[in-house]
Amino acid sequence: MANPTSLSVRAAAHEIASRRLSAEAYAAAWIESIEAQEAAVGAWQYFDREQALAAARRRDREGSGGPLYGISIAVKDLIDTVDMPTGYGSPIYQGSRPAADASCVALARASGAVVIGKTVTTEFAAFFPGKTANPHNLAHTPGGSSSGSAAAVAAGMAPVAFGTQTAGSIIRPAAYCGVVGYKPSFGLVARAGVKALADSLDTIGCMARSVDDTAFFIGVLTDRRDLREVSAPLAPRFGLCRTPMWDEAEPATRAALDRARAALLAAGARVDDVAVPEEQRGLAEAQDRIMRFEMARSLAWERVERADLLSPMLAQILDYGMTIGTGEYDAARAAVAKARQRLDSFFGECAAIIVPSAPGEAPEGLNSTGSPIFSRMWTALGVPCITLPAGRGDRGLPVGIQLVGRIGDDVRLMEAAMVAERALAEAA
């Protein structure tokens, strides 16, 4: 058999269940890649070779399992794991051992998955970066806050990794690292056991190498067979919206959207220009106010009792969050709710709307994770989003396009994403 890391998640699970591939051999292939690259990339907050192999051997001894049987996965260090430290990217919780797995981890393990380690998160999934570098150019950020998850998948250290998004923490790093990143509809994946940052925004998703892998993984976790077995339709209708933040799109992102449109048209799809609705203007700013207000409350204990262990960046954000009045917060929530009520007319007959994933290529330097500006409003609205690799910019780094769908209609979004993924591949 060829290197097992070349298999899709679905195919690898089938091979392991059929006993043509052992869970141990599958894990060992990913571990070999980790050991070859981790010193440079720094994607892992916790990794223990023997612990990972022992977990894979237990799967082999069990002899049967669920749809993720034997699949190695990475878990963002914002998400609790009972058998590995969970530090939330902060010295406050360094070495902390949760009493239980987070719901999403427990469900993944119950479906047969093998957790091989914890990936780096920014501090509490906010803006202060960790140690991770972009595998495509180590002098550039991988994005955040799901920095390690995006880098691990991009570098071939894991086939799929959990991420979380409160502003742009799945979509942006996935785009910067050239992988697929999927933020489901708000609340689709249970959040129990995940450190809260902003309760009305926090969403669990994943990064992987293909649309099928992301849909299969989340479909299994949520027990949604239509998502797990999603396939590409013949010719869905797409919209293309430049969004209220278009002035912040760099040439690389503008070119990526042009490429996507051309590829889809060549594949026989319809792509309509969609105007920016008036109710969507100002949503990025509304999301920022909501997030900062809720952050200051979610991290109240840390701000009050462990302020000396917070980064100056986070401390300043939390202090600012406490200055946002409830009236301002409620007004921001109301603006989001108004825009959410009008989403049907925004989508019209489109299966998905194409928008930017990030301003451009990953910025140089590791002191910042880049801007989440092109994800803020979609996260606030609670719509499902997916970013797809769409070529490279002038500096040779990946650039993505983002597709957004209707709330709760993740299946239709993933169908459209499969069409776009195939069209981009054929046009490359």
R_g of the chain computed on alpha carbons: 20
Is residue 338 flagged as an active site residue?
no
Catalytic residue among 90, 111, 145, 298: 145
Residue type, 113: A
Is residue 76 flagged as an active site residue?
yes
Catalytic residue among 169, 185, 210, 375: 169
Is residue 145 flagged as an active site residue?
yes
Q: What is the 3-state secondary structure (H, E, C) of the chain?
A: CCCHHHCCHHHHHHHHHCCCCCHHHHHHHHHHHHHHHHHHHCCEEEECHHHHHHHHHHHHHHCCCCCCCCCEEEEECCECCCCCCCCCCCHHHCCCCCCCCCHHHHHHHHCCCEEEEEECCCHHHCCCCCCCCECCECCECCCCCCHHHHHHHHCCCCCEEEEEECCCCCHHHHHHHCCEEEECCCCCCCCCCECCCCCCCCEEEEEECCHHHHHHHHHHHCCCHHHHCCCCCCCCEEEECCCCCHHHCCHHHHHHHHHHHHHHHHCCCEEEECCCCHHHCCHHHHHHHHHHHHHHHHCHHHHHHCHHHCCHHHHHHHHHHHHCCHHHHHHHHHHHHHHHHCHHHHHCCCCEEEEECCCCCCCEECCCCCCCCCCHHHHHHCCCEEEEEEEECCCCCEEEEEEECCCCCHHHHHHHHHHHHHHHHHHC
CA distances from 250 to 140, 175, 341, 359, 404 (A): 17, 14, 31, 6, 20
Identify whether 185 is preceded by a cis peptide bond (ω within 30 of 0).
Answer: no
Residues belonging to the active site: 76, 145, 169
